[in-house]
Amino acid sequence: MLKLDLEYKKEILICRLKGILNKKNSYKLDCYINPILRKHNIKYLVYNLDGLKDIDEKGIDAFLTSKWTIKENKGKIAFCKGKPNILEKIKKLRIPNYSCERKVCWKGY
């Protein structure tokens, strides 16, 4: 099961993920987050991975789709608070990782 907590502040959409992101629930990112990004032309997206327990290839593909959507909007995407096992699986996406949400907001967003 995957829970999404969305917060929008200072032109940044912060998406906190809790649970397991796998084939069964990766549609939540594709069907809920990406349409929001397109409809509202959101340029900055931060995924907080603190509550994420595990991820599979379909979950990684969902992150990649979000990355492409943000690139279309000429924006930036970042991860924060990822556990080492999660970060190892998603490092091929070349998305920066920060230790907390506040540092992402201070890096020029």
pLDDT, tens digit, 9 for 90 and up, residues 32-82:
999 999 999 999 999 999 999 999 999 999 999 999 999 999 999 999 888
pLDDT of 106 higher than 80? no
Q: Which residue ranges form the domains of the chain, and what is each CATH number?
A: 2-98 (3.30.750.24)
Instruction: Give the chain's mean pLDDT.
Output: 88
Per the CB < 8 A criterion, the answer to whether 63 and 49 are in contact is: no
pLDDT of the residue at 82:
83
pLDDT of 95 higher than 90? no
Per the CB < 8 A criterion, the answer to whether 30 and 54 are in contact is: no
pLDDT of 103 higher than 80? no
pLDDT of the residue at 108:
52
